[in-house]
Amino acid sequence: MPLTPKQQDEVAAQRNEVRQTRRATVPALEEILYEPFRVLDHGFVRVVDYMGDDAAIVQAARVSYGRGTRRVSEDQGLVNYLMRHRHTTPFEMCEIKYHVKLPIFVARQWIRHRTANVNEYSARYSILDNEFYIPMPEHLAAQTTANRQGRGATIEGEAAKRVLELLRREAERAYAGYTDLLNEDTSGTPLDPARPGLARELARMNLSLNFYTQWYWKTDLHNLMHFLLLRTDPHAQYEIRAYAEVMLGILARWVPMAHGAFLEYRMNAATISAKGLAVIRRMIAGEPVDQPSSGLSPREWRELIALLRNP
């Protein structure tokens, strides 16, 4: 289940408690505060706290730039300007804290983003739940032949059935071994009082990477957008992309101006090399250009042409 009964009670208590504040709040984000958004089969993302809004970005920029910014008549125009010209520090004035439940192998990818504060559930102190990730059949794919990282064609039929059965069987076996090593159930009751249980910090070695962990993850808006830019990309692994897409929707609720600028100038924009820009200028001038005359490598040429042709 995404939330344990205890966590469900905590969410209900948090949502029923109302606090008075002079701090800036965002009604659209307040509506979903503490609520879990389900991701994958047992995971979730939920916002547990935040600081700042679109106005905080504008305020920080005007302090930073002083009199010059008074020429900007609308906040959206200023936010767009900041995003377009990569003035990142005003976006760092906003922060958000998530509670995330995710498979361990996704967490290992996620933690590569070292610009956040993280506190993970401790399997040295507590017993992990018997919850593990099993992909949906449509997300089973063979290794791509194009590179050493990524997925190729979808695996179907009996081959897919065999993969799913193997994943489930091995995860169930791993958890059975884990509880046998611990010699206790999730409540801490010994399974066999006559023998000692292995320390939790050692018993956890028996679990596989598809078991779920949880953490609190706090970051500022600038680094959150960098995370989303990379992890919503079609080339990102599906499982972490599923989390990023939910978080992108939360971003739209929290800072709609920044979200719009982010889509316009980052997610749906493109970065072109100096040589690529020179090729485009030659094309605009009516000059015929092919790969050998472009100065680009074959791969760079293919990427540029694909960028220009794709809608």
d(CA 277, CA 283): 10
Enumerate the β-bridge partners of residue 141: 154
3-class secondary-structure state, position 230: helix
Other beta carbons less than 10 A from residue 208's beta carbon: 17
Phi/psi class of residue 44: alpha, beta or left (left: φ > 0; alpha: ψ in -120 to 50)?
A: beta
The Cβ-side half-sphere exposure at 14, using a 13 Å CA radius, reads 17
Q: Is 231 a catalytic residue?
A: yes
Closest CA to 246 of 222, 269, 224, 213: 224
Which among 23, 231, 299, 302 is annotated as catalytic?
A: 231
Beta-strand ranges (E) seen in 178-243 are: 212-220
Distance CA 45, CA 114 (A): 19
Q: Mind telling me the catalytic residues?
A: 231
